[in-house]
Structure formats: structure tokens, C-alpha cells
Structure 1
Amino acid sequence: MSPTPDIDYKAVRRGIEAEVKKQKNFAKIIFLVVNVIMFIAFSVIAWSMAGSAGINPGMASNMPGVQSGDPIASALIMLNMGWFAGLIFQGLMLFFDTKIGERQIRERATGKIMNQALLDAGLADESEPEKAKRAMRLTDDGELEEVEGEDELILAQKRVRGKS
């Protein structure tokens, strides 16, 4: 007899594929939103620096060919930093499309869907295992002593039930 007779494995497989697709799409949307926010933030910073020409000359870079206080160069550097960060996020998205990234997503989805299928089939043990209770027995001189060992524990339980 199979231990899991009520699980529809085709439905589980479809559920796993749907979960993998959902997680990948969610990650792509998050990275796109972060990329857009970073682009807007760096653009605002760069254009505000370009608009305040000469107010804060210490903001300019010490790169060769860039004169101190040049707001256009500072703005371009900030834009390049923002775009570089965006490229990093896009590189992370490429990682999710590799076999390693997809395998990690698929393992999480498989665990989630299989647990749900087991719960739906009523095969999952939702309760925690019962903790072994201490068994005590009364010695010949009237003292309580702890029962050690499995055989003595079974005998003590039988005595308590009156089956000795």
C-alpha cells in the first residue's frame, strides 16, 4: 500500500511550476521597481548638482580631466553610479534565470506545495510527538524510583494498568 494514495502528483507538479513562475515574476518586478527608483533618485541628485553650478565646488571628483567645481561632471558621475547599480540588479535577475537560481526557487516551491498537498490529503502529522513521560515505580521498601530502560518502562506501564 502506498503511503500517499490521495496525492495528485500532476496537480502538485502544476502547482510547483506555477509557484516557481510566480516567485520569478515577483522578483523581476521588485528589481525593476528598485532600478527605476534608483535611476530617479540619482537623476534628481545629478540634475540638482548641475543646476547649482559653483555653489559647492567640493562635490567635484578628483578624477583626471575633471576640474574642481564642475557640476556637469559631478552629475554625470552620479548618473553613472545609478546606472551601474541598475546593472547589478539586472545581473541578479540573470542569476535567477540560471539553473542554480531556479533550482533554489524550485526546492522552496516543492516543499511548500508538497506540504499543502499532504495537509489537503490529511496525511500530515500536525501534532507534535508526545513527550516520553517519566515512569516511577514503588520499591519494596516503599520508596519511589525512576524506571530506566525500555523493558522496565513497559513493565511499569502494565503494572499501572493492572495487567501485571
Structure 2
Amino acid sequence: MRVYIPSTFPLLDLACHTGEFGPAPLVAYAVTPALREWYTDGDDEELEYAAMAQAARASVGLLAADPGAQRRRVVVACEMSAIPPADGTVELGDARLELHVVVPWRTVAAVHIDAVDAAGIVGKAADLWDAAQNGDDDAIFALDSCEGEDLLWYATQEIPDLLAAEGPCGGSRA
């Protein structure tokens, strides 16, 4: 099953160099029963996209917690053999999972990252993250605006070169 781990450039750099995402527990997103039930007419591709979109939104929260990180969303797609069942507290449409294991780098299938020109929109959303979580309409609009930005796809073999090009721990905030 494919899971999507929200990340940032510094976290991606750390995982690439240590060979794992951790420590556990980790928040990840996948096609959960709650997501499948919400999108009853969605095919597998649409469901995967919805799960990845939720992970991308969570990446903005990680950026809010790390003001020095480059203002681009990062989502890591991993192939996992088993996903824990939901604990019954998830809302309809929720793709969120809690993984109680570290995720080895070898499970990474691809990485999705915003284009450089999305940094302004994503940065504004990260700056307003707390306000959005508290229901501020303008902040929610800024967060929702990120969804208009497409994430670029990178193969695993491209990640070390991408990280090197971006500089130490993801480079500048641009």
C-alpha cells in the first residue's frame, strides 16, 4: 500500500542521509476506509491523489514549525506492506494514519515537491498556519490556495542531486 509522508527539505535531507524516516510514531496519509467511504465514486487514482493532497496540507504545518525551512511542500510516497487499521476516531474522508514504525528509505517510491515559484503561496500559508487551525477565514483561504499548486514528481535516484542543488538541509527559503 502506498503511504504519503508529509515532510520538508530538512526532514527529507535527514531521511536521505540516515536511511529512514523516524522516530515513530509518524503521521502518514493513505487510502483509508474513511477516505474510501467519503469518495464513494472515486477510482484508486483519485483516492491516492486525495491522500497525497492531505499529506501536502500537513507539510505546510511542518513548515510552520520550522521557519528556516524552504517554503515548498514535500510529500514522500512510500510503499509499505502493512498499514495499521484506523482506531475508530477518524472522521469521514480522513486519510491520516499513525505509523508506529520507522519507515526505511528503501520503501520510498517517489517524492513530490512544489516548484520554486510556489514558495510565496506556500510561505504565506505556513505563516498563517496557526490562525487557519483556529478557524480564521483569511488564513484558511491562504492554506487552501496551496492546493492550486501542483507538486512535481521526483524519482528516488534524483533526490540526492536535488538536495545537493538546494544546499544544506534544503537550501534557502526561496
Question: Normalising by structure 1, what TM-score?
Answer: 0.24
Q: Which has the higher contact order (CA 8 A, sep 6+)?
A: 2
If each structure's strand is expressed as a fraction of its own residues, which one has the higher value? 2
Question: Normalising by structure 2, what TM-score?
Answer: 0.23
